[in-house]
Amino acid sequence: MAKGPQYNLPFRRRREGRTNYGKRRKLVTSGMTRLVVRPSNKHIAAQLVRAQVDGDRILASAHSSQLKEFGWKAPCGNLPAAYLTGLLAGQRAKASGVSEAILDIGLHSKGPGSRLFAVAKGAVEAGLNVPHDEKAFTSKERVQGKHVVDYSKKTRFRHRSLQEDVLNVSKTEVETRRPVDPFRTGSSQNKRKNRGAC
């Protein structure tokens, strides 16, 4: 490790490659609630976070694994699941009094049509005001999972149950649009340690 009077040790999360403090400063000083989206290989998490002096406060949240409670049977890490997770997060945000937010994707790349923007599309369609560009959003056909069904039909081993589950997006969407309790999961006003925020 470099030494000397001219060397400034970076913050720990910067050394670990987990936080871009320049980007975080702009998001925090904007004064807006952040729609924090963090994907993994199997799941997607969306949180409405408000920065305060004593730490971030999570106002509402949704996780793709919770879609099973609404009848979702397909995998929870794909693009339709991301859209439904954003829709659920938007519903809970509206129920907790949040009307607008700014998208926070952390250190992930801004790929148009990606799962990150599928979450944002779901939140916008739930009634949340999120500044966005329509060109970055995922098309309706991909949100409905038609590309998964088409690929399944072309492959040698057809997964009929997967086709039926993905086609069930509309039904799950109706279920997630029902009135929800924002304090049911992850929406407490108490301070929480947000390990995934940028």
- Bigger pLDDT: 4 or 163? 4
Crossing angle for the helix pair 79-95 and 169-176, to the nearest 10 degrees: 10
- Bigger pLDDT: 104 or 10? 104
Structural domain spans, the chain: 14-176
Residues 6+ apart with CB under 8 A from 117: 111, 132, 136, 137, 138
38 vs 3, 10, 108, CA distance in Å?
35, 24, 9
| Residues 83-100 pLDDT 10s | 999 999 999 999 999 999
The yes-or-no verdict on residue 195 having pLDDT over 50 is: no
pTM of the predicted model as reported, rounded to 2 decimal places:
0.78
Question: pLDDT band at residue 149, thresholds of 50, 70 and 90?
Answer: confident
Point out the least confidently predicted range of 5-9, 29-33, 45-49, 102-106.
5-9
CATH number of 14-176: 3.30.420.100
Kindly state the tokens that stand for 189: 């006003």
